[in-house]
Amino acid sequence: MRLIAKVHAAAKKAEARIVLAEAEDERVLKAAEYLEQHALAHPILIGNKERLERMIDCAGFAITSDIHDFSTLDAAGQHAFAAEMARRRHGKLTEQEALALLKKDTKYFAAMLVAMHQADGYVAGNQCPTADTVRPALQLLDQGHRFASSYFILRFEGKRYFFADVALNPDPTPAQLATIGIDTAHSAQRFGFEPRVAFLSFSTKGSARHPLVEKVQQAVAIAKRRAPELILDGELQFDAAFVPSIARYKAPGSPVRGAANVFIFPDLNSGNIAYKIAQRMAGADAIGPIMQGLDAPVNDLSRGCSWEDIVNVVAITAIQAGNLEVER
């Protein structure tokens, strides 16, 4: 069974309520119809209620999903959302400012639906940059309990690889880099893979000396202390992490043995560049970015996404919401 089919099968078990935060888009409505028909999730559509109902009728979509329009809430309902949003911002936002944001930006309304347990996760980005999707989640769903990061799943020559962090943290500290590695390994496990984690660098096992190398070495030491059960190693150059014959020369004794399937990049520059090179030059299929480490699942879409992409990202979000694993 292909990975996407396994993802869909797992999503059905979650029965998750997933908000589509930018629903005034025919791609989103087509995806919502498919999600309903195949019971992959319970979509919640956010947008202007009259416009959405008109779009659904005109296109002939068979959609029964709930439509949430903040402007149609009564004063007490709007106050409840705004008051809780202001509380979660810890004095950085007044209730009136919160109310203005909720009226203006559907992503904040989506995040608050999740925060107030009226939904299990949200998906956005089909009409906005990644930063606009992620900002409400970081402000409202990351209450200091964990550390958020992102990864891509890349399919190349029939195999799957996990790249992190590719969209969120420009220059993680050694401790943060260790967390990214551990969280991405656990995400790989959730998708049915046995993770072999390589912390990447321009140096292999001390072949170069530089503060940037030391940062990765420190991250590896922290990760090994915190997750001794994982197969992980570093610092490794990409060839030593990916090619077994090269690993035997450059990193003899490495537990990864040149067969890594989880690649942890030292900063956002390298991670973002690497996945785009793999996608555009090598023709790798890419799913993501997928968020991890938040108090609730939130995921970002490309503005050029297809309705099928939306279905798959919602299914992944549903799996995260249900804390489920994909069948191996």
For the chain, the first-to-last Cα distance in angstroms comes to: 9
The structure tokens listed for 309 are 């992409």
Domain ranges of the chain: 3-146+295-322, 149-280
**Quick one: pLDDT at residue 240?**
96
- Give the class (CATH, top level) of 3-146+295-322: alpha beta
Q: Class of 149-280 per CATH?
A: alpha beta
Give the per-residue pLDDT at 47: 93
Question: What pLDDT is recorded for position 79?
Answer: 95
CA angle 97, 149, 23 (to 5 degrees): 55
What is the four-CA torsion angle of 128, 131, 135, 138, rounded to 10 degrees? 130
| DSSP 8-state assignment for residue 33 | H
Residue ranges of alpha helices (H) inside 191-286 are 211-226, 238-242, 244-250, 268-280
Q: What is the pLDDT along the chain (328 residues), one digit of tens a residue?
A: 577 888 899 999 999 999 999 999 999 999 999 999 999 999 999 999 999 999 999 999 999 988 999 999 999 999 999 999 999 998 899 999 999 999 999 999 999 999 999 999 999 999 998 889 989 998 998 756 568 899 999 988 889 999 999 988 999 999 999 999 999 999 999 888 999 999 999 999 989 999 999 999 999 999 999 999 999 998 999 999 999 999 999 999 999 999 999 999 999 999 999 999 998 999 888 887 899 988 889 999 988 889 999 999 999 999 999 875 665 5
pLDDT at site 327: 58
Exposed, middle or buried, 271 (CB in 10 Å: 0-12/13-18/19+)? buried
**What's the pTM value of the predicted model, to 2 decimals?**
0.85
State the DSSP string of 268-299.
Answer: HHHHHHHHHHHHHTS--EEEEEEEESSSS-EE
Asked if 47 and 69 touch (Cβ cutoff 8 Å), the reply is yes
Order across the sheet with 17-20: list the strands. Answer: 66-68, 42-46, 17-20, 121-124, 298-300, 285-292, 149-156, 159-164, 262-264, 196-200, 231-236
Check if 3-146+295-322 and 149-280 are the same fold.
Answer: yes
